[in-house]
Structure 1
Amino acid sequence: MTKTALVFIANGSEEIEAVTTIDVLRRAEIEVDVVSIEKSGHDAVKCSRNVRVLPDKSLDDIKNTQYDVIVIPGGNDGSKAMANSSEVGQILTKHYQDGKIVAAICAGPRALLSHKIGVDHKHTITCYPSVRKEFTDGEPYKLDNPDNPVCHSRHTGKGDTEEKEHHLVTSQGPGTTMVFALKLIELLKGKDEATKVKDGLLV
């Protein structure tokens, strides 16, 4: 079965984190929808360094679609917009509760905190160094060792009929994006596929 990913973008998103993640996931033949959270959902988004990215879809287009992973890139203004969006919060909450992967990089974990994603499960996360001060270590998340570029935190709990896994994947910033994306490939398609893509990228 084909794996699917949603990458949110907004005005002020960090373009390296968004575009690199999109590119690397597609190299693993993961279907990626680039979704703008702006009101003009089909217009190009102006990222943090003035790179313009044209979305595939708007929030309205995907409100009833489920993905295997959702990605929140950083960027100061973009991450704040996602943290303030009730629509983004609803989509993140549903996917997390359904056992799908929720991933955020750089300042993106702000949206996890704002929308209370996994706060009852005491996940460990990482983020951009200057953003760490926005989190109180241990409440509601534990902060990972800053030497680790990517953090995958898994919580296993009982659902209504069976055990369910809940995943948060976080990373530190533009320079860790490729490792972040490769980790998502590993979780979605296995280590062999992640290694194949990694070797092709000469990482």
Structure 2
Amino acid sequence: MSSVLVPLATGCEELEAVTVIDLLRRAGIDVVTASLDGEPVRASRGVTLVADTHLDEALRRDFDMVVLPGGAEGARRLGEDDRVTELLRKLADSERFTAAICAGPKVLAGAGLLEGRQATAFPGALDDVPGVELRGGEPVVVDASVVTSRGPGTAMDFALRLIELLAGEAQAAEVEQQLQRPSGHRQYNGEA
């Protein structure tokens, strides 16, 4: 079973965090949420999220993927945390997945993971980052082991694409069918 770490920081975008956590768990993927300081996390819209563990505890494990939720303040806090940067680089060096949505791709850029890659993010989040080929109109962009997405409105497409990468297309389709999304809505893989 694949394992995913979702670090949560004060100011994170709750819709993005919860959508990713929920859908990946529906797919049978082992998802661990970790707060930076071990305390409940007050998200960008005032929702309090209680993480499974403290980041220091989570870092004792190996993960197949790290997913960074967005939210400007949450992404800033993740980007300022040396433990997060070190983990992202470690996963990238071992060709495991790093994924981020909304303002989260700026954290990937700060760790040096977007240089020469295609990516998307919340409009303006990567405008001042050199060396990134922005694919702003796409809901989800996969470039090798780096996955990026635009924002709250693309969170479901993002999560389904992550499931496909970790557990296969059939598992992603099964989870999507259970969600009762309108037929033909799949955009996470570029289809209309």
Fold shared per TM-score above 0.5: yes
CA separation in 1, counterparts of 2:58 and 2:49?
18
Unpaired stretches in structure 1, ≥5 consecutive residues:
155-166
Say what the alpha-carbon RMSD is for the aligned residues. 1.1
Q: Which amino acid aligns with 1:81?
A: R
SS in 2 for 1:129: coil
Q: Which amino acid aligns with 2:149?
A: S
Contact kept in structure 1, 2:34 and 2:55, CA below 8 Å: yes
Deviations 1:61-115 (A, max 9, x none): 0223111110001001000011111110011111111111100000001111111
Corresponding residue number in structure 1 for 2:123: 129
Percent identity of equivalent pairs: 38
Aligned partner of 2:133 among 135, 142, 152: 142
| Pair 1:182 & 2:160 matched | yes
CA separation in 1, counterparts of 2:128 and 2:24?
29
Aligned partner of 1:151 among 135, 141, 147: 141
Aligned partner of 1:68 among 51, 64, 67: 64
Q: Which amino acid aligns with 1:60?
A: D
CA separation in 2, counterparts of 1:14 and 1:172?
12
Contact kept in structure 2, 1:36 and 1:55, CA below 8 Å: yes
Contact kept in structure 2, 1:171 and 1:180, CA below 8 Å: yes
SS in 2 for 1:64: coil
CA separation in 2, counterparts of 1:12 and 1:118?
23
Q: Which amino acid aligns with 2:58?
A: I
Cα offset, 1:4, TM superposition: 0.8
CA separation in 2, counterparts of 1:57 and 1:116?
27
Corresponding residue number in structure 2 for 1:169: 147
CA separation in 2, counterparts of 1:86 and 1:7?
16
Q: Which amino acid aligns with 2:22?
A: D
Corresponding residue number in structure 1 for 2:74: 78
Corresponding residue number in structure 1 for 2:176: 198
CA separation in 2, counterparts of 1:134 and 1:14?
22
Unpaired stretches in structure 2, ≥5 consecutive residues:
182-192
Contact kept in structure 1, 2:105 and 2:126, CA below 8 Å: no
Cα offset, 1:118, TM superposition: 5.0
CA separation in 2, counterparts of 1:142 and 1:49?
31
Corresponding residue number in structure 1 for 2:7: 8
Change (3 A) 1:126 1:118: closer
CA separation in 2, counterparts of 1:118 and 1:107?
13
Deviations 1:150-200 (A, max 9, x none): 00001xxxxxxxxxxxx0000000010000000000001110000000111
Q: Which amino acid aligns with 1:12?
A: G
Deviations 1:2-30 (A, max 9, x none): 11111111000000000010000000000
Contact kept in structure 1, 2:4 and 2:66, CA below 8 Å: yes
Corresponding residue number in structure 2 for 1:27: 26
